[in-house]
Amino acid sequence: MPHKVLMPIGDATEVMDTLYPFFRLPEDGFEVVVAGPEARLYHGVMHEIPPNDSIPWDITREQPAYHIRATVAFRDVKPEEYVGLFLSGGRAPEYIRYDPHLMAITKHFFDAGKPVCSVCHGVEIAAAAGCMPGRTMTTVAKCALDITSFGGKYVNAPVHIDGNLVSGRTWHDNTPMLREFVRMLKAYVVD
């Protein structure tokens, strides 16, 4: 049986934040289990700043993208069965952070010292669960307040490691971020 990594999502999960680890982690023998407010199909979105200067955007544009199925509802997750947690970005964290089951799940991973990886808006889940005090991490710059307002320190770096926490700014940092998360997961399951 492969070791399981939990990935909470909801509607408007960012597909590059979500699908890259979904397919990457099994390459090293980890099963990714996608959880949501309910076990169902969720709408993914693509976030980008259009590269054409004739279309001015000062924040990411959102458009529909692939769908992603959650196979378990937050209320049915048994966090002790998982070796790691991946907090994906997009707009989903803005509303799933209000789910008390997800908050308890998130605290479990931080309190138990299990590997946690957070990218982009995923920080909103960790912040809402009260896991920021004394932590240093990176995220997309527009979410820096989700770290500093909750007792943590923000750094602008492609990847940052703080104990059991690996963080990245956006999906552009997927490769180095997942490299560190996989290294951390492998060390955890050997210990």
- How far the first Cα of the chain sits from its last, in Å, is 17
pLDDT at 12 over 80: yes
What CATH class has 3-190? alpha beta
Digit-coded pLDDT (tens) for 101-130: 999 999 999 999 999 999 999 999 999 999
Q: Which helix (H) or strand (E) holds 23?
A: helix 15-24
Q: State the burial class of residue 172 (Cβ atoms within 10 Å of its Cβ: 0-12, 13-18, 19+).
A: middle
Entry pTM: 0.95
Enzyme catalytic residues? 121
d(CA 83, CA 113): 10
Q: Assign residue 142 a region: left if phi > 0, alpha if psi is -120 to 50, beta otherwise?
A: alpha
Q: Are 9 and 68 in contact (CB under 8 A)?
A: yes
Q: Percent of the chain scored above 90 by pLDDT?
A: 88
Place of tokens 């997009």: 90
d(CA 147, CA 128): 10
pLDDT at 61 over 90: no
Task: Give the CA distances from residue 39 to residues 18, 50, 58, 93, 147, in Å, rounded to whole numbers and listed in that order.
Answer: 16, 33, 35, 17, 29
